[in-house]
Structure 1
Amino acid sequence: MDKETFLKRIQGFVEGVPLIVLGSGATVPYGLPTMSQLAEQLETEINFNSDDRDNYEVWNEFKNKLQKTGDLETALQETRVTEAILKRVIKCTWNFVNEADKKAFDKIISNPQEFHLINLLKHFGTSQRELRVITTNYDRLAEYASSYTNGFAYTGFTNNYVGNHIAEAADQKYKQLDHYGYLIKIWKIHGSLDWFKNGEGVVRSFPHSQYIADNHSPCIITPGAEKYRESLQDPFRSILTQIDKDFSNASSFLCIGYGFNDEHVHPKLLSKAKNDNIPVVLATKEISKAAKREILNSDIQKYALIEDNGKNGTRVFLSDHEEEIVYDNEDFWSVSGLMSILK
């Protein structure tokens, strides 16, 4: 397929306003850690004394499973972690990701021209009054990008120094905004660096907080079995309800750096794509095995998977093309590469 035909195909797939799904691959280029880097940090930072027998043995069991599987989520799912271990994992994860987030923020405000997610949101935000972003990440990069647009960003919490959770406010209050061009709903299904739970179980947002306040714990869902229990509680329960509505209304999906390995997102996405025959575009550094399994072997009739071919070019899998397509010396898989297609 010649390049011009390919470009028009992708433009047609995401014509209008797609539902945008951001995975870790969307923020890694800006210095946020990968899952493997997080796993290394947890192994290095968390230790238990042998006198603390229960936690010591369970943590060693986790580390052994991690070394065998090489997968953080699998190791945590297969280990019955104690409450003490879970608290340490959450705290260590928050500190590690928050430090990377702060460095990314400093770079972004110093040189926003290099933060291409801004241009992506601007591109789609100009055509409608509502833009929907679902992210599996804890970081604030979607919020940073939104701040450089003419859109009003809403994550399910009021925009105060101490934000309260009102998931429905996006539809009830922020739908009509006289001084903004559009509404950007950012649904963070695994929590945010800004969200904290107090001793009474109340979750509030402390925007851009750089430390964990006394008597609070980060409200983030870490990989492992606990993620399913936590997702049944607010704010996650309400956010998932809002996501269901957005999936129902989606006309296409644009996935950036997403690995198709989250049970709260990809089953609904795939079902919508199959049943309503709407396009799925995935752009990422390396297409995950899960993504290839879920999409290439599915009944989805319109898809485009775009990845780095490892040789300074781009590899593409298209729904109506039997063979993979390679474009030498072309970057179409990064956010800046996507913008070269869309503009």
Structure 2
Amino acid sequence: MKLLPARPRLLALGEPVHGEAALPEARNELFRQLVEREGYRTIALESDCLAGLVVDDYVTSGAGSLDRTMAHGFSHEWFNVSEANRDLVRWMRAYNEGRPASERIRFAGFDGPLEITAAASPRQALTALHGHLSARVDTHLLPCTAEALDELLGPDARWTDPAAMTDPGRSAGQTAQAKELRLLADDLTALLDTQPPHPLTSAARHEWERARLYARTATGLLRYHFRMADTSPGRMAWLVGLRGQMMAENLLALAERGPVLVHAHNSHLQRNKSTIHMGGPPVEWWSAGAIVSAHLGAKYAFLATALGTLRHQGVGTPPPDTVEGLLYALPEDRGLIDTLRLTAALGDTRPAPRVSPYFGYAPLDPAHLDGSDGILFIKDVPEN
């Protein structure tokens, strides 16, 4: 906290590679300290925002079991098998046991229901949003019935076909039904915005927040599916940009609750433009971190994580003229580096970029050091 100009609403901890146990273990340690010393009450991970509701229900009220929560509460193949994630969920449930609702810590996924090869059907989000409203408003205000919504959605398989990622013609996103669903999602969202929680109890606000999440997810998914059917050269830039927007909207909503620790890949949290290589020309987009930083200013803080070695993945000792090489020469096995002091010490020069032999690990970009507030450096990452 001494590195930061103000106490952030969103403290973002990035990681340069997924699936390495040492990184979420460090995240867990940081979150425990933030809860116990700084009053943080929410952690948000790069995981499906709707699946994350299963985890939140378990850690806050004990709904379900730990095994069921791990099986159904996370997206991405490495999350639900992660022992560090299991430890996090177990600790959060134990912490909340016996505490009043106002003191419980919360879990959230902030990614859309998206994978790199597919996107979810909008059914869950749209039907949940419709159900929330139908229980609270006059029927004549609803733009459609639940049965009409179901008929327009059709089979989920037409939405989730993995082939649509590489073949726009396989996407359902620009059919007549999908276009009508986009209008209905917009109407349902507008109707929700006219219905604040009443009476303003914690339970009513909780349900309203979930309905807002369903609304964001429904409209975001339908936009995403529309662009999956796009054949223009900007298709991939649209897709990664829309994913970043969905992430950012979820993070801004979480920030309304109070201070949040966010954990995701560095590329989703940095303030500078992000780049991804997917077989063709590199695709650039403004990440969730860049969007949130523009909204929150000093209330957003980003700590990038950098690694020295990842020997089991072929990443050896970093060259001494790289950022990682300079940090590797320090005596500590793990440390937090003040980016301002580091850039001041470097002056007008910048270290050489590090080249990783392992595609899954993204080294720091020395040209963008000033885009972070600090660097968590882990010298040697052991094999899981």
Q: TM-score range by the shorter chain?
A: 0.3 to 0.5
TM-score by length of 1: 0.36
TM-score by length of 2: 0.33
The structure with the greater share of residues assigned to helix is 2
Higher Rg: 2
The structure with higher relative contact order (CA 8 Å, sep 6+) is 2
